Amino acid sequence: MQSKMISILVLALVFAFGAGTGHAEELNKAGKPLTAQQARMKNCNAKAKADALKGDERKAFMSTCLKAPAADAGSDKAGKTAPVIAKAPSAKQVQRKACGAEAKEQGLKGEERKDFVKDCMKRPQAQG
Protein backbone atom coordinates (compact mmCIF):
# COMPACT_ATOMS: atom_id res chain seq x y z
CA MET A 1 0.00 0.00 0.00
CA GLN A 2 2.80 2.38 0.94
CA SER A 3 4.69 1.71 -2.32
CA LYS A 4 1.54 2.53 -4.32
CA MET A 5 1.20 5.83 -2.44
CA ILE A 6 4.86 6.61 -3.18
CA SER A 7 4.31 5.77 -6.86
CA ILE A 8 1.32 8.09 -7.00
CA LEU A 9 3.29 10.85 -5.28
CA VAL A 10 6.22 10.43 -7.67
CA LEU A 11 3.88 10.47 -10.66
CA ALA A 12 2.18 13.62 -9.36
CA LEU A 13 5.57 15.31 -8.98
CA VAL A 14 6.58 14.26 -12.50
CA PHE A 15 3.40 15.76 -13.94
CA ALA A 16 3.80 18.91 -11.87
CA PHE A 17 7.39 19.34 -13.05
CA GLY A 18 6.43 18.50 -16.63
CA ALA A 19 3.67 21.12 -16.62
CA GLY A 20 6.21 23.81 -15.78
CA THR A 21 8.56 22.96 -18.64
CA GLY A 22 6.30 24.36 -21.34
CA HIS A 23 6.45 22.80 -24.78
CA ALA A 24 10.05 21.62 -24.68
CA GLU A 25 10.54 18.38 -26.58
CA GLU A 26 11.78 15.43 -24.61
CA LEU A 27 15.14 14.14 -25.73
CA ASN A 28 16.57 10.64 -25.86
CA LYS A 29 20.01 9.70 -24.53
CA ALA A 30 21.63 10.89 -27.77
CA GLY A 31 20.10 14.35 -27.25
CA LYS A 32 17.66 13.95 -30.15
CA PRO A 33 13.86 14.30 -29.92
CA LEU A 34 12.06 11.08 -29.02
CA THR A 35 10.73 9.06 -31.94
CA ALA A 36 7.05 8.15 -31.98
CA GLN A 37 7.88 4.64 -30.71
CA GLN A 38 10.12 6.00 -27.93
CA ALA A 39 7.38 8.39 -26.80
CA ARG A 40 4.84 5.57 -26.86
CA MET A 41 7.15 3.29 -24.83
CA LYS A 42 7.84 6.04 -22.31
CA ASN A 43 4.15 6.77 -21.79
CA CYS A 44 3.20 3.08 -21.52
CA ASN A 45 6.02 2.51 -19.00
CA ALA A 46 4.81 5.46 -16.92
CA LYS A 47 1.25 4.08 -16.90
CA ALA A 48 2.45 0.59 -15.93
CA LYS A 49 4.62 2.01 -13.15
CA ALA A 50 1.80 4.22 -11.85
CA ASP A 51 -0.48 1.16 -11.70
CA ALA A 52 2.32 -0.85 -10.00
CA LEU A 53 2.06 -3.65 -12.56
CA LYS A 54 4.53 -6.53 -12.31
CA GLY A 55 5.37 -9.73 -14.18
CA ASP A 56 2.89 -11.19 -16.66
CA GLU A 57 0.31 -8.52 -15.85
CA ARG A 58 2.82 -5.81 -16.83
CA LYS A 59 3.81 -7.68 -20.02
CA ALA A 60 0.18 -8.00 -21.08
CA PHE A 61 -0.48 -4.33 -20.33
CA MET A 62 2.62 -3.17 -22.24
CA SER A 63 1.69 -5.29 -25.24
CA THR A 64 -1.81 -3.84 -25.35
CA CYS A 65 -0.63 -0.30 -24.65
CA LEU A 66 2.05 -0.34 -27.35
CA LYS A 67 -0.47 -1.60 -29.91
CA ALA A 68 -3.06 1.04 -28.95
CA PRO A 69 -3.79 3.95 -31.29
CA ALA A 70 -1.27 6.78 -31.00
CA ALA A 71 -3.83 9.02 -29.29
CA ASP A 72 -4.01 6.57 -26.36
CA ALA A 73 -0.36 5.64 -25.90
CA GLY A 74 1.83 8.06 -27.84
CA SER A 75 0.64 11.45 -26.66
CA ASP A 76 3.20 13.77 -25.22
CA LYS A 77 2.69 16.10 -22.24
CA ALA A 78 1.29 18.88 -24.45
CA GLY A 79 -1.49 16.56 -25.59
CA LYS A 80 -0.11 16.29 -29.10
CA THR A 81 0.01 12.91 -30.74
CA ALA A 82 3.28 11.64 -32.10
CA PRO A 83 2.89 10.66 -35.76
CA VAL A 84 3.14 6.97 -36.49
CA ILE A 85 4.79 6.41 -39.83
CA ALA A 86 5.19 2.86 -41.08
CA LYS A 87 8.38 2.36 -43.06
CA ALA A 88 9.14 -0.56 -45.31
CA PRO A 89 12.21 -2.51 -44.19
CA SER A 90 15.40 -1.66 -46.04
CA ALA A 91 17.07 -4.18 -48.34
CA LYS A 92 19.75 -4.79 -45.68
CA GLN A 93 17.09 -5.45 -43.04
CA VAL A 94 15.37 -7.95 -45.32
CA GLN A 95 18.69 -9.63 -46.08
CA ARG A 96 19.66 -9.76 -42.38
CA LYS A 97 16.32 -11.37 -41.53
CA ALA A 98 16.81 -13.97 -44.28
CA CYS A 99 20.36 -14.69 -43.09
CA GLY A 100 19.13 -15.04 -39.51
CA ALA A 101 16.39 -17.45 -40.62
CA GLU A 102 18.95 -19.49 -42.57
CA ALA A 103 21.23 -19.63 -39.51
CA LYS A 104 18.29 -20.76 -37.38
CA GLU A 105 17.43 -23.52 -39.88
CA GLN A 106 21.02 -24.74 -39.59
CA GLY A 107 20.82 -24.64 -35.79
CA LEU A 108 23.75 -22.22 -35.45
CA LYS A 109 24.34 -20.44 -32.14
CA GLY A 110 26.81 -18.02 -30.58
CA GLU A 111 29.95 -17.08 -32.48
CA GLU A 112 29.21 -19.63 -35.20
CA ARG A 113 25.84 -17.95 -35.90
CA LYS A 114 27.38 -14.48 -35.74
CA ASP A 115 30.09 -15.43 -38.25
CA PHE A 116 27.56 -17.09 -40.56
CA VAL A 117 25.28 -14.02 -40.61
CA LYS A 118 28.27 -11.74 -41.20
CA ASP A 119 29.36 -13.81 -44.21
CA CYS A 120 25.78 -14.12 -45.44
CA MET A 121 25.39 -10.33 -45.40
CA LYS A 122 28.39 -10.06 -47.75
CA ARG A 123 26.63 -12.15 -50.41
CA PRO A 124 25.04 -10.31 -53.34
CA GLN A 125 21.38 -9.64 -52.74
CA ALA A 126 18.81 -11.46 -54.86
CA GLN A 127 16.89 -9.06 -57.05
CA GLY A 128 13.17 -9.65 -56.69
pLDDT at 32 over 70: yes
**pTM listed for this prediction:** 0.36
DSSP string, the chain: -HHHHHHHHHHHHHHHHHHTTTTPPPB-TTSSBPPHHHHHHHHHHHHHHHTT--HHHHHHHHHHHHHS-HHHHSB-TTS-B------PPPHHHHHHHHHHHHHHHTT--HHHHHHHHHHHHHSPPPP-
What does the pLDDT average to over 49-67?
A: 85
8-19 per-position pLDDT tens digit: 656 665 665 555
pLDDT tops 50 at residue 74 = no
Q: pLDDT band for position 128 (50/70/90)?
A: very low
